[in-house]
Amino acid sequence: MTVNYDPGVDYSALIAQEAAKGVNANRPLLAAYETARNAKIAGEGLNYAQTHVYTQEAGRPRHYYTATDQSGYIGELYDAARSRALSALEGAYDAQIAALDSEAAALPAAYRAAKNAAAGDAAVERRNMDESFAAAGLNSGAAGQARLAISTELLGSLSALDAEKAARAADISARRTAAMSEYRSAIASAIAQNETERARALYEEAVRVDESYREAEQEMELQESYLAVLPEITAAVSAPAVRSGGGGMARASQPARSTSAAQAVRTPGGGGGRRFDAIM
């Protein structure tokens, strides 16, 4: 695209004048000024460096001025988050199962000791009884009845210990089953939550990138429309100092041109709003 410029205009001064408005500066107009400045430097052979602070260069790829799609990085973040969540759940489950296994493994020894203690108590009781009966001169029939009672009581104690051991083993098994169920449910929930959050993040990223493309295209359209009537714009907004050496790049003053073309430029998509109302 051929860029028309006015050799007598100091575009650096115009850029400074517009940029001084800060956040209210007209960026597409700044880009047009900068494009004209670069064209003037090249066309007049001036010893100044060209700049591209505001300009969208036509030779750049489309994505150069738009947001970079970070979908891949977002996916990696959520993969890592999912891995961490599943690892934490697995670690907690393994610790819970290990505790249950340890509890179950301790049962045989604990109840063996309890049975031995019960048998030992019964043996002591029987010996004491025999000694007592012998000292009292009681017959063997009475001693036999007493021994039978002690044996019956011991068998009852041993049976109770077996039942208690079985109940504890069943409780451990039930808790192990519940832990497995909770673990599987937690895994499913973590995966579902991760996928939901991932989908939301990817959607928001797509919206962000699409919006940046839309804004970049609108800005490029504005820049091109300003360039089309740049001589008229500069004639309308240039102060005498800008045209007569006030900015270090000005040449001899050129006749001002009509502003009718600038007044005809409107915002994209119709609507009738004048693009240059703020600067005319």
CB 227 within 8 A of CB 32: yes
pLDDT band at 139 (very low <50, low <70, confident <90, very high): low
Is the domain of 82 the same as that of 146? yes
Q: What is the DSSP letter of 22?
A: G
The answer on 18 and 83 residing in a single domain is no
Domain co-membership, 206 together with 76: yes
- Coil vs helix vs strand at 68: coil
Name 164's Cβ contacts closer than 8 Å, sequence gap at least 6: 111
Residues 55 and 101 in one domain: no
Q: Are residues 44 and 83 in the same domain?
A: no
Q: Using CA atoms, how far apart are residues 202 and 69, in angstroms rounded to an integer?
A: 10
Helical H segments across the chain, by residue range: 11-19, 27-44, 71-136, 140-228, 230-237, 240-243, 260-264
33 and 109 belong to one structural domain:
no
How far is Cα 21 from Cα 278, in angstroms, rounded to an integer? 12
* Predicted TM-score (pTM) of this structure: 0.52
Same domain (yes/no): 195, 233: no
Q: What is the 3-state secondary structure (H, E, C) of 133-161?
A: HHHHCCCHHHHHHHHHHHHHHHHHHHHHH
Could you tell me which residue, 217 or 78, shows the higher pLDDT? 78
Q: What is the pLDDT of residues 225-258, one digit of tens each?
A: 777 777 777 776 655 545 544 334 444 334 333 3
Are residues 87 and 206 located together in one domain of the fold?
yes
Mark whether 201 and 91 lie in a shared domain.
yes
Domain that holds residue 236: 11-68+214-264
